[in-house]
C-alpha cells in the first residue's frame, strides 16, 4: 500500500501509513508537542487529532497555544457541562444544543421539573471537574441518520431527534465520552482531562430554535480558558461589567425605569434621564445642522399600502405593529425612510438640489420578542438619529465618506474606538442583481479609499441594500452595533423618486439610509456602561449639587443654588436635615460631578467648597469663579 505524503507548515514532508493520525505524526516530532496538540487542520479543514488519515495533504497541528484552540476547548467544555448535567439529573433534563460563543459557551436544556438556579453552579462545576479528572477519551463516531434517530429517541432526547430529522445527510457524526453521547460535527479535544479551566457564569431563557411559539429552554452560560490566568482576567472583566450594568446604574442614578403596567420594552424616562436624552438630542441637532442636514418630522403611522410598496410588509412584517383607522389599515413605523421619501416627492427636484440630507430624531416601534429585551439595549420603542441622503449615483462616494467622517468625529467625542463591517445581500431581499452589485461596490470603494480596516459580513445586509456597520468599542473593549450606512437603489425605484438632470431629462436618485449613534436608548445604555455612570461634565444631567452642613447655612445654600441655575448650570439643592456624610454618599452614588459644600466659612466668605465625585476637594472659590470653571469645562466635548 502506498504511503501518504503529509506536508507540514515548515515545508517538510512526512511519509506515513494510511490510518496514521495527526497525533501519531505529532509524536514523531516530539512527545511534548503531542501532549499539547488538541486538534489539527488537514487540507485547511479542522479535524480531530485522532482522525485516521486516508489521503495525502497538508497538515497543521493545533496546540493549546494556537489561536483556534480556545474555540475547540470551549466547545468541548459545553459537552462536558452537558455530561455533568445529565449525570446529576438524568432523564429529568433533555439536552439540545451547546455551541462555543465569543466569550465562552452555553448549553440549552429542557426540563419541565428541574429549574436551574445559580446555587446549582458549584454542584455542576464539581461534577465537571470529576469527569475531567477521569480523563475519559472523546471518541468520534459516524452513524447513519436513521440509526442516530433511533439512538437518541431511545435515550428520550427528542430535541436531538428533531435536529437529525432536519439534516439533509445520510450520515451524522457523534461524540462519546464515558456514558455521554452528543450530536456534533467537532472537532473536540481527545480527552476530557485537557479541560481544566472553566467557570459557569449565568442563566437565561431561550426559545427552542429561537421560535417564541416553541418550548422555553434554560440556557447555562459558562466560559473556559487554557490557563487560570486568562480565566481570572476574564472573571475580573465580568465583575467590572456587572458594576457598570446600565440597568443597575440607571436605577441608582434615577435615570429611567420600566413598568409592567406600561408594557415590556417601553422606557419611562425620569427627569434626569430625560435631561440626558435632551443633551444628546441637542448635540445631534447641532452636529447635523453644521454638516448640511435639514431637520424633518414624519408621522408615527402610515398606510399599510405604503409598507407594501416599500417591501417592509413582505420582508419585515413580523417586526411591525399594525392598526386600523376608519377601516383603513396603518402600520406603526419601524423606520423613518418612507416619510422622508414622501417629503422628497412633494415637489420636483433638480440635480442642482442634490444631495438632499433629511434628518429626523424619529421614534419607531418594533416587535421584539420578550426573551431578547434587555434594559435600554433592546427595547420595543426607541428613537433613532435617522437620516436619508438622496443623491446622484456620482455623489455616493463623497456622501458615504462624509458619513464615515461624521461617525469618526462622534466616536472621538465620546471616547470610543470602533471597527467596521461590510454586509452584503441577504437571502431575503428585493432589487436587481445589478443594483446590488453597484451599491456594494460603492460602499466597498469608499471603505478601501478611507484606509479603514473592515471585515466582510456575507449575507447580512438590509433587505433593500448592502450596508456598512460600525461597532463601537467601549472601555471594557466590548463591541456595540450603533452606526450604519446603507446604500439603496431599490426604494427610490419603488417610490418613483426622480430628479431633473443637466440634460433636462428625469433620472433616478440613490438613497443612503444612515444613523450615527443609532437608537438613542441603546446609545445611552452603552454610554452608561462605557463611563460607568461617570459622565463627562458637558453630558452630566446634573453638574453640581449644593449641600449645607447645618440649617444655619440653608439660606446661603439656596442663594448659591439660584445663582447657579440662573447661569445655566444644571444644579440640585439638598438642604435636608441629614448628616453631611450621608448627603455626600448619595450624591456620589448619583455620580454628580461637583458637590458644593456650604459651611459657616463659606457663608462668611461668600464662597463654595467644591468636592469632586471621586472624593478630591478643591480650594474654596467664589460662586462666579465656579460658574466660569464649569462653563469653560463644558465648552469642549470631553
Q: What is the pLDDT of residues 441-453, one digit of tens each?
A: 889 998 998 888 8
| pLDDT beyond 60 at 513 | yes
Chain centre to alpha carbon of residue 627? 39
Q: Is the dihedral of CA 441, 446, 449, 451 positive or negative?
A: negative
Q: What is residue 518's predicted lDDT score, i.e. its pLDDT?
A: 93
Task: Convert the pLDDT of each residue in 56-68 to its tens digit.
Answer: 999 999 998 898 9
By C-alpha distance, which of 334, 330, 299, 287 is closest to 315?
Answer: 334
**H-state helical runs in 202-358:** 228-244, 246-252, 271-289, 304-310, 312-315, 337-344
Q: CA 593, CA 588: separation in Å to the nearest integer?
A: 8
Q: Which cell numbers hold the place of 375?
A: 434594559
Beta-strand relationship, 57-63 and 37-42? antiparallel
Task: Convert the pLDDT of each residue in 433-480 to its tens digit.
Answer: 888 888 898 899 989 988 888 998 888 888 888 999 999 998 888 899
Please give the domain boundaries of the chain with CATH numbers for all domains.
4-63 (3.10.20.30), 69-244 (3.30.980.10), 268-299+334-531 (3.30.930.10), 544-635 (3.40.50.800)
Q: Which residue has the higher pLDDT, 221 or 431?
A: 221
Cell 468541548 found at = 76
| Average pLDDT of the segment spanning 327-337 | 94
By C-alpha distance, which of 15, 62, 76, 67 is closest to 34?
Answer: 62
By C-alpha distance, which of 215, 109, 221 is closest to 157?
Answer: 109
Q: What are 283-290's contacts with CB under 8 Å, separation 24+?
A: 283/637, 284/361, 284/385, 284/516, 284/517, 285/359, 285/361, 287/406, 287/409, 287/410, 287/516, 288/357, 288/359, 288/385, 288/387
393 touches 535 (CB < 8 A): no
Q: What is residue 1's predicted lDDT score, i.e. its pLDDT?
A: 63
Task: Convert the pLDDT of each residue in 371-424 to its tens digit.
Answer: 788 999 999 999 999 999 999 999 999 999 999 999 999 999 999 999 999 999
Q: What is residue 615's predicted lDDT score, i.e. its pLDDT?
A: 86
Q: CA 357, CA 186: separation in Å to the nearest integer?
A: 50
Q: Which residues are CB-neighbours of 335 under 8 A, at least 6 positions away?
A: 312, 364, 386, 513
Q: Which residues are CB-neighbours of 222 under 8 A, at least 6 positions away?
A: 77, 78, 81, 104, 105, 106, 198, 199, 200, 201
Task: Convert the pLDDT of each residue in 91-146 to its tens digit.
Answer: 999 999 999 998 899 999 999 999 999 999 999 999 999 999 999 999 999 999 99
Cell 465618506 found at = 401
In the chain, % of residues over pLDDT 70 = 99
| Average pLDDT of the segment spanning 180-202 | 95
| DSSP-assigned states of every residue in 212-241 | TTS-EEEEEEEEEESSHHHHHHHHHHHHHH
Query: Residue 464 belongs to what H/E stretch?
Result: none
In the chain, % of residues over pLDDT 90 = 83
Q: What is residue 296's predicted lDDT score, i.e. its pLDDT?
A: 97
Task: Convert the pLDDT of each residue in 557-593 to its tens digit.
Answer: 999 999 999 999 999 999 999 999 999 999 999 999 9
Q: What is residue 636's predicted lDDT score, i.e. its pLDDT?
A: 62
| pLDDT beyond 90 at 429 | no
By C-alpha distance, which of 75, 93, 40 is closest to 175?
Answer: 75
| DSSP-assigned states of every residue in 493-554 | HHTT--EE-TTSSEE--EEEEEEEEEEHHHHHHHHHHHHTT---TTT-S--EEEEESSGGGH
**Cα dihedral angle (280, 613, 475, 285), rounded to 10 degrees?**
10
| pLDDT beyond 80 at 630 | yes
Query: Residue 60 belongs to what H/E stretch?
Result: strand 57-63
98 touches 159 (CB < 8 A): no
| Order of strands, sheet of 57-63, starting from the edge strand that comes earlier in the sequence | 13-16, 4-7, 57-63, 37-42, 45-48
| Average pLDDT of the segment spanning 188-199 | 95
Task: Tell me the C-alpha to C-alpha distance, in Å, between residue 203 and each of 106, 260, 350.
Answer: 9, 22, 57
Q: Give the up-direction half-sphere exposure of residue 636: CA atoms within 13 A in the CB hemisphere.
A: 4
Q: CA 519, CA 483: separation in Å to the nearest integer?
A: 9
Q: CA 116, CA 206: separation in Å to the nearest integer?
A: 13
Query: Residue 202 belongs to what H/E stretch?
Result: strand 197-207
Q: CA 413, CA 251: separation in Å to the nearest integer?
A: 26
Q: CA 6, CA 634: separation in Å to the nearest integer?
A: 66
Beta-strand relationship, 499-500 and 506-507? antiparallel
Q: Give the up-direction half-sphere exposure of residue 494: CA atoms within 13 A in the CB hemisphere.
A: 21
pTM over cut 0.85:
no
Q: Provide the annotated active-site residues.
A: 337, 366, 384, 386, 388, 467, 513
| pLDDT beyond 70 at 638 | no
Q: CA 481, CA 384: separation in Å to the nearest integer?
A: 13
Amino acid at each position: 500500500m502506498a504511503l501518504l505524503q503529509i506536508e507540514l507548515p515548515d515545508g517538510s514532508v512526512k511519509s506515513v501509513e494510511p490510518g496514521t493520525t495527526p497525533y501519531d505524526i505529532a509524536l514523531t516530532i516530539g512527545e511534548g508537542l503531542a501532549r499539547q496538540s488538541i486538534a489539527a487542520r488537514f487540507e485547511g479543514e479542522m479535524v480531530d487529532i485522532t482522525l485516521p488519515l486516508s489521503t495525502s495533504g497538508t497538515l497543521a497541528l493545533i496546540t493549546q497555544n494556537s489561536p483556534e484552540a480556545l474555540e475547540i476547548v470551549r466547545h468541548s467544555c459545553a459537552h462536558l457541562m452537558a455530561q455533568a448535567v445529565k449525570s446529576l439529573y438524568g432523564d429529568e433534563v433533555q439536552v439540545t444544543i451547546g455551541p462555543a460563543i465569543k466569550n465562552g459557551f452555553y448549553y440549552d436544556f429542557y426540563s419541565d421539573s428541574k429549574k436551574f438556579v445559580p446555587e446549582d453552579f458549584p454542584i455542576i462545576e464539581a461534577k465537571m471537574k470529576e469527569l475531567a479528572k477521569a480523563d475519559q477519551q472523546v471518541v468520534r463516531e459516524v452513524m447513519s441518520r436513521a440509526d442516530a434517530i433511533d439512538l437518541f429517541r431511545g435515550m428520550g432526547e427528542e430535541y436531538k431527534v428533531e435536529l437529525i430529522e432536519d439534516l439533509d445527510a445520510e450520515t451524522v457524526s457523534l461524540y462519546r465520552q464515558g456514558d455521554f453521547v452528543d450530536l456534533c460535527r467537532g472537532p473536540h479535544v481527545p480527552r476530557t482531562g485537557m479541560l481544566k479551566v472553566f467557570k459557569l457564569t449565568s442563566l437565561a431563557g431561550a426559545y427552542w430554535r429561537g421560535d417564541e411559539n416553541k418550548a422555553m429552554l434554560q440556557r447555562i452560560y459558562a466560559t473556559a480558558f487554557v490557563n487560570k490566568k486568562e480565566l481570572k482576567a476574564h472573571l475580573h472583566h465580568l465583575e467590572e461589567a456587572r458594576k457598570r450594568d446600565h440597568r443597575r446604574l440607571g436605577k441608582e442614578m434615577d435615570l429611567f425605569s420600566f413598568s409592567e403596567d406600561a408594557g415590556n420594552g417601553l422606557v419611562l424616562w425620569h427627569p434626569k434621564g430625560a435631561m440626558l436624552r435632551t443633551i444628546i438630542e441637542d448635540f445631534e441637532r447641532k452636529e447635523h445642522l453644521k454638516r448640511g442636514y435639514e431637520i424633518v418630522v414624519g408621522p408615527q403611522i402610515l398606510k399599510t399600502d405604503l409598507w407594501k410598496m416599500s417591501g417592509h410588509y413582505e420582508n419585515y412584517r413580523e417586526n411591525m405593529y399594525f392598526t386600523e383607522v376608519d377601516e383603513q389599515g396603518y402600520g406603526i413605523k419601524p423606520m423613518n425612510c418612507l416619510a422622508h421619501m414622501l417629503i422628497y416627492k412633494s415637489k420636483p427636484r433638480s440635480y442642482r438640489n442634490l444631495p438632499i440630507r433629511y434628518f429626523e430624531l424619529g421614534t419607531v416601534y418594533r416587535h421584539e420578542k420578550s426573551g431578547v429585551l434587555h434594559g435600554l439595549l433592546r427595547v420595543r420603542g426607541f428613537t433613532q438619529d435617522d437620516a436619508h441622503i438622496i443623491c446622484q449615483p456620482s455623489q455616493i462616494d463623497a456622501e458615504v465618506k462624509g458619513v464615515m467622517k461624521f461617525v469618526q468625529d462622534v466616536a472621538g467625542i465620546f471616547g470610543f474606538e470602533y471597527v467596521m463591517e461590510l454586509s452584503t445581500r441577504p437571502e431575503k431581499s428585493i432589487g436587481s442583481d445589478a443594483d446590488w452589485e453597484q451599491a456594494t461596490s460603492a460602499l466597498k470603494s469608499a471603505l478601501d479609499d478611507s484606509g479603514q480596516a473592515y471585515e466582510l459580513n456575507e449575507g447580512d445586509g438590509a433587505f433593500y441594500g448592502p450596508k456598512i456597520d460600525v461597532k463601537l468599542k467601549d472601555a471594557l473593549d466590548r463591541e456595540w452595533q450603533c452606526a450604519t450606512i446603507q446604500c439603496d437603489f431599490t426604494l427610490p425605484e419603488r417610490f418613483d423618486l426622480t430628479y431633473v438632470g443637466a440634460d433636462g431629462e428625469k433620472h433616478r436618485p440613490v438613497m443612503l439610509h444612515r444613523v450615527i449613534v443609532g437608537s438613542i436608548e441603546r446609545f445611552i445604555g452603552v454610554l452608561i456602561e462605557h463611563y460607568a455612570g461617570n459622565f463627562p461634565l458637558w453630558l452630566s444631567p446634573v453638574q453640581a449639587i449644593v449641600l449645607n452642613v447645618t440649617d444655619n447655612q440653608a439660606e446661603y445654600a439656596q442663594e448659591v443654588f439660584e445663582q447657579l441655575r440662573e447661569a445655566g448650570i444644571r444644579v440640585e439643592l439638598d438642604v435636608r436635615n441629614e448628616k453631611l456624610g450621608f448627603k455626600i454618599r448619595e450624591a456620589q452614588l448619583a455620580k454628580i460631578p461637583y458637590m458644593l459644600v456650604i459651611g459657616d466659612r463659606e457663608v462668611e466668605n461668600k464662597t463654595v467648597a467644591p468636592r469632586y465625585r471621586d472624593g478630591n476637594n478643591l480650594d474654596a472659590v467664589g460662586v462666579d469663579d465656579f460658574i466660569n470653571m464649569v462653563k469653560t469645562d463644558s465648552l469642549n466635548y470631553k
